[in-house]
Each structure stands twice: as C-alpha cells, then as structure tokens.
A and B are shown apart, each in its own frame.
Chain A
Amino acid sequence: MNKIEQFSLLLYVFAFAIFAGYQVISKVPQLLHTPLMAFTNAISGISLVASLIIAGEGRSLTSSILGMVAVTAAMINVVGGFLITDRMLKMFRKKDKAKP
C-alpha cells in the first residue's frame, strides 16, 4: 500500500471519528460537561500506546528517556483521569425517594 492510499484510509478514519464524536458529544448534557472533560482527558491518554513503543524500542538512550517521560505523562492522565471521572460520576445522584 503506498503512502497516498494509507493517508486516504487514515483520513476516512479521521472524518468518521469526527462525525461520530460530534453526534455523541452533542448528546452530553451540560450537567456532565466537567466529567466529559475529565473523561476525554483520560482517553486522550491513549497517546500512551505511542509512548510505549518509543520507550521500549531501544533505538537510543535519548529516545528511551523521552519515551519514558512520555509514558509517565500519559499514564498520569490515564490513571488520574479515570479515577477522577469515577469520583465525579459517583456524586451525581437523583433525589432520594424518602421525602421528609
């Protein structure tokens, strides 16, 4: 597969992801906008998958160190992001049935 074909496939992925994302995110109520930001923060930690390869590739000491710092930064977002999203979502509750 040449570069142009590869690029066009990735562009398809990009365009469809943007469209699907727009549809899904428009449905998120204002109530949950802060958890939404924490959530997208956590999943943007997916750059971890790129950092892992750089850190484990062993091409040079410099790139291994850069990779390790990148893994650290991405992992902070993954761990911290999911934990804080969970903490927030647990707080949102409906009115108790037991009314005074």
Chain B
Amino acid sequence: MLSLFKPEIKMFVENYSNSISGKVLTAIKNGKSRFIFNGPAGTGKNFLAEAIANELNASFEVINLYELTDDTQSVSSMILDNIKQSAMSKSLFQQGKKVIYIEDLEKLLSVDSSIAQKLNSMAGDSIIIFESETGEIFRSKYKRFLFGYETVRFYKLNNRVLKTFALKLVLYNKMKISDGMVESIVRSAKGNISSIITDLNTIYITNSSHLDTFRNSDDSIFEKITAVFSGKVENVEIYFASDMEAKNFEIWLAEKAPQVLKKEELYHFFESLSSADIVLNKIKKQNWSLLKYVKNIMVYSCYSFKVSFPKVDFYAPKWDSYYNK
C-alpha cells in the first residue's frame, strides 16, 4: 500500500486563492469551538479536522450516524449520548481537548433540527465539527438552529494544486510514473483528492500502465463520437462498443453541444435531451434494451439537428391539415 502523509496542517491541500486552514486555526485561537465544514466530496474536510486535532494535541473521534442505529428517530438522542459519554471520558482519563467530527449534517437536521443547538451548550471545551456536502444547510429555515456555528466552505480543488499534490505523493513513495500519466490521473479525478490517492495506489500495487480503466477517463471514446455532431452516423457504433453510462453520456452531450450547434438547433437539441432524461429516470435499472433506445435517441437527435432535417412533431395533432381544408 501507498504510504500517505500524516494529517498535519502544513500538508493540507487547498487552492492558492483561499486559506481555509489559516481561517479555522485563527478562529480556534479566538475561542471558537463549533464549526460546519461544507463542501463536495474529496476536498479534504476530514483531513483538516484530523490535522487540527493533531495540531492541538487533542484526540480525534468520528461519528457516523448511520453506523449507530437503524431507527432514525432515536438518532439524535444517540448522538447526544455519544458525545456526552466521550466528553465524560475525556474529563476522567485524558488531558487536553477532544475534536469530534460528525458526518452528514443534512440528515441530522432533517431528523432533529435542534440537535446543533443542544450540542452548542454541551461539552463546552471540546471542538465539534459538523460535515455537510450539500447546500441544504444554507436554507433559511435552518439558520436559527445553526446559530453560533462557524461555516467553513471547501471548494473543488483545481488541477494545478492536485497535480502538485500527486507529484509530492509520487516522490514520497519513490514511484516511477511518467508526467503524462500523473496528468491524466489528475484530469480524471475531477477535483476529488481521494480519487487521486486511490488511483496512484492502484498503479503502485499493480504496476499497470493501462489508463483506460481509471475513473471517468472515457474521453477517448467521446473524442471518437464527436463526429456524431458532424453528421456521421457510422460513428455511433463505436459508442455502442463501449459501456458508457447513459447518464454520463447525457451530461457529456449537454457539455459539448453548445460548441457545435447553433442557437435554434441548440434549443431543439435540449428539448429532446430533456425528454430523453425523463425516460432515463423512469425506467428500471435493469432494463438494458430501453436504455439502449434512449442512448440511440440522444445520438441520433444530435445527428438530425446537424443536417437540418425538417422538424416534424409526430406527437402533436396535425393542425395544418385542418386549416388547409
């Protein structure tokens, strides 16, 4: 296995423009002890929490509410008990502070909105950090419950920072990887730092240089079917040889279409893409044939818009014929 960096503040990776770690440390020095870490997966929320614990010589504990109980109603009291307990154990056996990291704040709030408030008055000297991955917590109905908590926002890491990190990790483990390989790993990670670690680990263990099987690196297939937009239907077959997921394919189409299609074409394209999307969401997951149809509709619609095929709405009544009579 790859040896990783110890969670320390100086090893924390963030975009050059923001200074999350500095902000949090200053806030702690000023006596703050309640935080919400908000940001997408793989931006270092967990890492920073652990690094802070190490910095303060405190013990670190993670609470995942799904691990506690099946019955969501009793979750809040379980968490409160848990934290009470750990606060107690600290005061009896340990010196120093304790950092408690609680995952999935959104779920907690939906079960018991007042839990954050209750925690605010409990276990005063330990640092409590809530983790949240969506923007749900910014809704106004939660505002009063989260009073007294400092919200720290994490942003998707850019590729430059990620590449520096990847190269550091490569050097640290004395691996031999070409620069191009590192670059493609970084690109396919899409801002998620733990994806990079996992992928480097795969290379470390298997010595495999095969790039196609890394996550989301289906760009190679996509490049080939870009020709679809230029009106070559034969290229559709190349697409069917791959096992691309319809959902990702949709997103890719939406991304690329504006580069190729004109205003009005674009409108009709998105009209048909959105209807394909509805079908895609409704069908059962195991229904392969239907999925294939949907994929085909998407591909062929791109094609037909490009060659400016006269648009016929087969579902609408043909009013023209009535008027002509």
Chains A and B belong together in one complex = no
Point out residues on B near A: beta carbons under 8 Å. Answer: none
Point out residues on A near B: beta carbons under 8 Å. Answer: none
